[in-house]
Amino acid sequence: MRTAPHLSRRALLTAAAASVTAGVTTAAATPSRASGAHRPLPSPAFTGFRTVGRVKEAADGWVQYSWPGIVFEGRFHGRGVGIVLDDSANDYDVQIDGTTVSTLVTPGRTTSWVTGLADTGHTVRLVKRTECPWAVGRFGGFVAARGGRILAAPGARSRQIEFIGDSYTAGYGNVSGTRDCSANGGVDRNSNAGLAFGPLTARKLDADYQQNAFSGRGMVRNYNGGDPGTDYRTYYDRALLNVAGDVWPKPRGWRPQVVVIGLGINDFSTPLHPGEPWATQSELIAAYAGAYHGFLDKLRARYGSRTFLVVSATAVSGTAFADTARGIVGDRNARGDDRVGYWYYDDPGLDRLGCDWHPSLRDHEIISGLLDQYLATVPLDW
């Protein structure tokens, strides 16, 4: 197995243009304007748009969220559409009829307009590009331009995939093209969660997806031993990552046929330090395997016996990550659960030209292709 380059602490703990084909303008949204754009409803099936990401409705009817890759989809008839946002930390792609028409960089409290369209029916899709786990974004809905109207939200797709992981799953720094992105906008301006390997595969399969990724977090150990006492499992159940004890109210309709788990890079990519809970790598491996089994039990209880659970691994320093992940799958299979599989991904074409040696856009396309090949061998209940 080829050894991956050293990853910096910033690379995995920090969560951290536009291609214009239509007119895009931005206007400040007053509280009354924003609340009028969206009437609150008691479920995630909001009027005029839909999302399968982990979101929560605020008391004022706005939608709150903090995981990367959150997507809002809507339909409208007319020459333009406004996107009501309140977010000074994250970036977004705006897509009309499947084409990205603008990128909103830390838009603040605003209504961003796409105008100059044909006076007909259109789809609109808003994709949260960045991670920023401690910054809560707020979405107020879509509003039609004068003379147009918002149509009923599109229906849910029958296929569902959940992606669980770290910075690789989040698409950290993937659009940079250079490993040191400090001079070209930093990590946030060079990340696009929607172009990470998971969403690429989900779109090819026409599947709804969740991208529940948190950079720098491992199953039991964070990158370089950072932030002790927490790990990925601390946050998995939350909708809002910065709210201790928060619990995402899973809608009845979210039951993915496959869950792809990528946790272990941060556990094993750096050496243990004095004072950490594990004195030896053998102790770390035992703790990692035990926690992983518990996490798989949690997913199995949440989603049922038919959901296929994919335990993935990739190249890091040494073979502990891959060997342990493979052994976990072997244990599950030996216990009679044949709907747990092992997926190892690596390729000589990976250049790791994203920020801080992370996968580049080209790398994510390669990894997505490898995932496509793997899923084609899995007996999924699509």
Q: Which amino acid is at 243?
A: V
Q: Determine the Cα–Cα distance for residues 380 and 160; give it in Å rounded to an integer.
A: 11
d(CA 382, CA 301): 20
Rg for the chain, CA atoms, rounded: 21
Q: Are 311 and 340 in contact (CB under 8 A)?
A: yes
Q: Which of 1, 16, 362 is nearest to 195 (CA)?
A: 362
CA–CA distance, 205 with 371 (Å, rounded to integer): 11
Residue 272's SS3 state is coil
Residue written as tokens 């496959």? Answer: 258
> Is residue 230 within 8 Å of residue 149, measured between CB atoms?
no
The burial of 304, by beta-carbon neighbours within 10 Å (0-12 exposed, 13-18 middle, 19 or more buried), is given as exposed
Walk across the sheet containing 207-213 and list its strands. 207-213, 159-165, 258-262, 308-314, 340-345
DSSP secondary structure code for residue 82 in this structure: E
378 Cβ contact partners less than 8 Å away, ≥ 6 residues apart: 258, 308, 310, 341
CA 117/CA 156 separation, integer angstroms: 26
The CA distance from 373 to 363, in Å, is: 15
Give the integer Cα–Cα distance in Å for 210 and 53. 5
Within 13 Å and on the Cβ side, how many CA atoms surround 222?
A: 21
Residue that has been written with the tokens 């899709």 in this structure: 125
Active site residues: 167
